[in-house]
Amino acid sequence: MIWLVMIVCGLLTLSMRFVMFSDLAPRQLPGWLEEALGLVPVAVLTAIIVPAVIISPEGGLILAGNSKLPAALVAVTAALVTRSVLATIASGLGSMWVLEYFLY
């Protein structure tokens, strides 16, 4: 049974990839689909970052005494102002380190 599942999954994977590289699929995606796909990175990063900032390892919300929350706000502000990934990372990490060292 496992061999049948592996063969079927392999054939499905091969067929999906073959269609994209052959002339069977359209060369240009519809405009609405391209616009929708442009929002995927924002949605995925939000789903990863927000729980890492406001949820404790035990599973509860931590809003008070959380150095990650103001550092995340600083990083978001830096991202909106500079549009630079390096400036966003540096400002977020720097502010978190300063907050943990002096306040938390």
**pLDDT value at position 62?**
86
**pLDDT value at position 12?**
96
d(CA 21, CA 92): 41
**pLDDT value at position 86?**
97
pLDDT tens, position by position, 11-23: 999 999 998 888 8
Q: Where are the alpha helices (DSSP H) in the chain?
A: 2-21, 31-37, 40-54, 68-82, 85-102
**pLDDT value at position 70?**
93
Q: What angle do CA 54, 38, 32 make, to 5 degrees?
A: 130
Residues of the chain falling short of pLDDT 70: none
**pLDDT value at position 22?**
85
Q: Domain map of the chain by residue range?
A: 1-30, 39-104
3 state DSSP class of 55: strand
Other Cβ atoms less than 10 A from the Cβ of 91: the count is 20
Strand partners, 36: none
pLDDT tens, position by position, 47-62: 999 999 999 888 888 8
